[in-house]
């Protein structure tokens, strides 16, 4: 029988070619794009933060990449409570001047471009400097649906050291 290449059969052949590259049974998932402005900014809750803090979510954890991402912006003097992360946290400072501290250690100044790795279970806080705002991207690993264990507030005395 003579094969007649119609538009429909060409489309069918093309779909076979695509399917041949896929693992058996499962169609390949597509990329997704979260558009700027699609996720509203949120205020950092007073229960977990001191001062004015804004959280701009980037993405939630998923099954194959179990970490979430978001921007956190601290106004001057604002900071997180003391806390730990079950699988650790990367912080990338994108704007301004801030501070971070491990329990028992000195306060360390951080600036735009700095990257901080906080290992699992290390008690710490992060925030702005007293006079300058700070924004960082936080990449937080998730275990059993949790990416942080919140603790007590950072007192004025602790922050001002
Ligand atoms: Mn942290």
pLDDT score at 25: 83
Structural domain contains residue 138 = yes
pLDDT score at 23: 58
Task: State the distance from the centre of ligand 1 to the C-alpha of 64, rounded, in angstroms.
Answer: 22
Query: Are residues 50 and 154 in contact, defined by beta-carbon separation less than 8 angstroms?
Result: yes
Structural domain contains residue 45 = no
pLDDT score at 161: 81
Instruction: Enumerate residue ranges in the chain where pLDDT < 70.
Output: 1-24
Task: State the distance from the centre of ligand 1 to the C-alpha of 9, rounded, in angstroms.
Answer: 56
Task: State the distance from the centre of ligand 1 to the C-alpha of 71, rounded, in angstroms.
Answer: 12
Task: State the distance from the centre of ligand 1 to the C-alpha of 41, rounded, in angstroms.
Answer: 19
CATH number, domain of 142, equals 2.60.120.10
Q: Is 34 helix (H, G, I), strand (E, B) or coil?
A: coil
Alpha-carbon torsion (145, 151, 153, 158), positive or negative: negative
Kindly provide the residue ranges of all beta strands, DSSP E only, lying in the chain, ordered along the sequence: 42-43, 49-50, 53-59, 67-74, 79-80, 83-84, 89-102, 108-111, 115-118, 124-128, 134-141, 149-150
Contacts of 98 (CB under 8 A, 6+ apart): 74, 109, 110, 111, 126, 127, 128, 129, 132, 134, 136
Query: Are residues 74 and 154 in contact, defined by beta-carbon separation less than 8 angstroms?
Result: no
**CA 142 remoteness from chain centre:** 10
Structural domain contains residue 82 = yes
Structural domain contains residue 41 = no
Q: How many domains does the chain have?
A: 1
Task: State the distance from the centre of ligand 1 to the C-alpha of 126, rounded, in angstroms.
Answer: 6
Task: State the distance from the centre of ligand 1 to the C-alpha of 155, rounded, in angstroms.
Answer: 17
DSSP code of 31?
A: P
Task: State the distance from the centre of ligand 1 to the C-alpha of 38, rounded, in angstroms.
Answer: 25
Contacts of 60 (CB under 8 A, 6+ apart): 68
Task: State the distance from the centre of ligand 1 to the C-alpha of 135, rounded, in angstroms.
Answer: 13
What is the span of the domain harbouring residue 60?
50-160
Task: State the distance from the centre of ligand 1 to the C-alpha of 2, rounded, in angstroms.
Answer: 68
pLDDT score at 126: 98
Structural domain contains residue 133 = yes
Structural domain contains residue 62 = yes
Q: Is 115 helix (H, G, I), strand (E, B) or coil?
A: strand
Structural domain contains residue 27 = no
Beta bridge partners of 111: 97
Structural domain contains residue 70 = yes
């Amino acid at each position: 029988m003579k094969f007649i290449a119609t538009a429909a059969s060409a489309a069918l052949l093309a779909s076979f070619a695509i399917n041949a590259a896929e693992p058996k049974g499962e169609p390949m998932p597509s990329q997704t794009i979260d558009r700027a402005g699609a996720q509203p900014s949120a205020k950092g809750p007073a229960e977990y933060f001191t001062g004015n803090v804004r959280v701009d979510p980037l993405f939630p954890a998923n099954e194959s990449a179990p970490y979430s991402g978001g921007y956190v912006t601290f106004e001057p003097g604002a900071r997180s409570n003391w806390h730990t992360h079950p699988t650790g946290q990367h912080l990338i400072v994108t704007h301004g001047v801030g501070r971070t501290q491990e329990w028992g250690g000195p306060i360390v100044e951080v600036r735009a471009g700095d990257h901080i790795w906080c290992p699992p279970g290390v008690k710490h806080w992060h925030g702005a400097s007293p006079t300058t705002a700070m924004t960082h991207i936080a990449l937080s690993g998730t275990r059993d649906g949790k990416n942080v264990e919140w603790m007590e507030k950072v007192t004025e005395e602790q922050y001002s050291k």
